[in-house]
Amino acid sequence: MLQVTCAIIQHANKILICQRSASMKLPLKWEFPGGKIETGESKEECLHREIKEELHIDINIHSALTMVEHHYADFSLQLYPFVCSLESGEVKALEHV
């Protein structure tokens, strides 16, 4: 089972959501940005790393929400969502549409 994080980033009374690229698994689906937790990495470390890699921004993590488990036809995941805010940088979609 995959363990992944996602950031619900609030900024200027808006919430950031991203669309997966056509070349990604689950193409063109909408998601909160984040990614897979690597071995030895905390959920928070994963989220900071993934957001920097995907969006080229730094975030503040404020609180964790309830973990959600979801089963697709060919894989399952545990999703750990966090409420976040923009710390610095300007969003550049490096992996998304």
pLDDT digits (tens, 9 = 90+) for 41-90: 999 999 999 999 999 999 999 999 999 999 999 999 999 999 999 999 99
Top pLDDT among 38 and 26 is at 38
DSSP letter, residue 77: E
Residue 60's nearest CA partner among 81, 83, 79 is 83
Quick one: pLDDT at residue 94? 73
What is the C-alpha to C-alpha distance for residues 68 and 80, in angstroms, rounded to an integer? Answer: 7
Q: What is the pTM of this model?
A: 0.91
Quick one: pLDDT at residue 93? 79
Q: Does domain 1-60 have CATH number 1.20.1640.10?
A: no
Predicted confidence band of residue 97 (pLDDT cuts 50, 70, 90): low
Contact status, residue 61 vs residue 82, Cβ threshold 8 Å: yes
Contact status, residue 81 vs residue 6, Cβ threshold 8 Å: yes
